[in-house]
Structures are given as C-alpha cells and as structure tokens.
C-alpha cells in the first residue's frame, strides 16, 4: 500500500469516526429534547389540574356537599370547573389509550380519577354534565364503570 492510499484510508477512518460521534451526539440531544417535551407536557397537565382544584369549593369532597346550597354564580363556576376536570380526564385517558403516556404516569392519573369519582359531588356533576357535554363512548363507559364499581364496593 502506497502512502497516498494509506492517507486516504486514514482520512476515511477519521471521517467515519467523526460521523459516528456526530450521530451519537445528535441522538443524545434528541433524547434530551424528547425528555424535556415530556416534562413540559406533564407540567402542563399538572398546572391545569391545580387550577381546577383551586377553583372548586373547599368542601366539595365532603359527603354532605350539595350543589343546591351554592349561590347561582358559584354553582355555575363550580360546574364549569367540573366540566374542565372531566375534559382533562378525558384527554388523559385518550392519551394513555393512544400510547402517548407512560403506564406509570397513567397509573397515577387513573388512581386520582378513581378517587375523585368516589365523591358524591363529582358523580353528581358527571351526571349533570353528561346531559349537556359530549364525551367519546369509551371514556364515558370507563367513568360509568368506576361509578358502578364504587357503588358495589360501598354496599
């Protein structure tokens, strides 16, 4: 092998090594970007949930909570935020079913939804909003199964 071929071979080796390093670096950068997107996504849902909770009456989780005892404007506001909560739950459920949400995160969200739907006020709001809001059938069926399951366990 003459010197020109040797130099050419070294040049190709350096080029391939550089290319491998660039590809590995880009993959790592893409992974960091992807992780950041997931964190922002999760943070957005957490902020939405927190805003909803902060705008509901303090005693909404109490067994004796009664929408009829609220002033009209407070009842209207509460129902608006309950519908926002149901929309959020619906989105979370759909994202999980589509495979966009990791099972670990879904498990946490699912537990929270199931706990919320064990509350009388949430069930009443669901029944009322089901008459004037449209949720896709799989989600509605799942929520109704939670309500039925909870009733069976309560008796």
Q: Is the pLDDT of residue 155 over 60?
A: no
* Shared domain check, 95 and 144: yes
With a CB cutoff of 8 Å and minimum separation 6, the contacts of 101 are 92, 95, 109
pTM of the model: 0.77
Cα 63 from Cα 142, distance rounded (Å): 23
44 and 66 within one domain: no
Question: Both 97 and 115 in a single domain?
Answer: yes
Question: CB-based contacts of 143: which residues, under 8 Å, 6+ apart?
Answer: 86, 89, 113, 117, 126, 135
Whether 46 and 81 share a structural domain = no
Q: What is the pLDDT of residues 117-130, one digit of tens each?
A: 999 999 999 999 87
Q: What is the tally of structural domains in the chain?
A: 2
Q: In terms of domains, do 128 and 109 share one?
A: yes
Q: Tens digits of per-residue pLDDT, 98-153?
A: 998 889 999 999 999 999 999 999 999 999 987 667 888 899 999 999 998 766 66
Q: Do 74 and 121 lie in a common domain?
A: yes
For the chain, the DSSP string reads: --HHHHHHHHHHHHHHHHHHHHHHHHHHHHHHHHHHHHHHHHHHHHHHHHHHHHTS-TTTTSTT--GGGS-HHHHHHHHHHHHHHHHHHHHHHHHHHTT-S-HHHHHHHHHHHHHHTTSHHHHHHHHHHHHH----HHHHHHHHHHHHHHHHHH-
Average pLDDT over residues 33-49: 83
Domain boundary among 54, 72, 99: 54
pLDDT tens sequence across 45-82: 899 999 999 999 999 999 999 999 999 999 999 999 99
Of 54, 71, 88, the residue at which a domain comes to its end is: 54
What is the band of 92 on the pLDDT scale with cuts at 50, 70, 90? very high
Are residues 81 and 141 part of one domain? yes
Do residues 113 and 130 both lie within one domain? yes
* Gap between the Cα atoms of 63 and 41, Å rounded: 33
CA dihedral sign of residues 128, 100, 54, 73: negative
**Whether 126 and 142 share a structural domain:** yes
**Residue 96 lies in domain:** 58-155
Last residue of a domain, one of 31, 54, 77: 54
Whether residue 76 is found in the same domain as residue 146 = yes
pLDDT at 4: 80
Taking only Cα atoms into account, the Rg of the chain, rounded to an integer number of angstroms, comes to 26
């Amino acid at each position: 092998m003459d010197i020109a071929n040797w130099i050419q071979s070294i040049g190709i080796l350096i080029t391939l090594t550089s290319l491998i390093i660039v590809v590995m670096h880009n993959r790592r950068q893409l992974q960091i970007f992807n992780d950041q997107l997931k964190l922002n996504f999760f943070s957005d849902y957490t902020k939405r949930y927190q805003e909803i909770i902060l705008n509901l009456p303090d005693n909404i989780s109490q067994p004796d909570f009664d929408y009829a005892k609220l002033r009209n404007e407070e009842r209207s506001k509460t129902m608006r935020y309950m519908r926002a909560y149901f929309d959020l739950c619906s989105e979370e459920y759909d994202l999980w079913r589509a495979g966009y949400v990791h099972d670990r995160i879904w498990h946490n969200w699912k537990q929270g939804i199931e706990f919320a739907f064990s509350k009388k006020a949430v069930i009443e709001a669901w029944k009322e909003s089901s008459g004037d809001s449209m949720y896709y059938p799989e989600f509605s069926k799942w929520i109704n199964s939670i309500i039925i399951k909870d009733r069976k366990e309560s008796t």
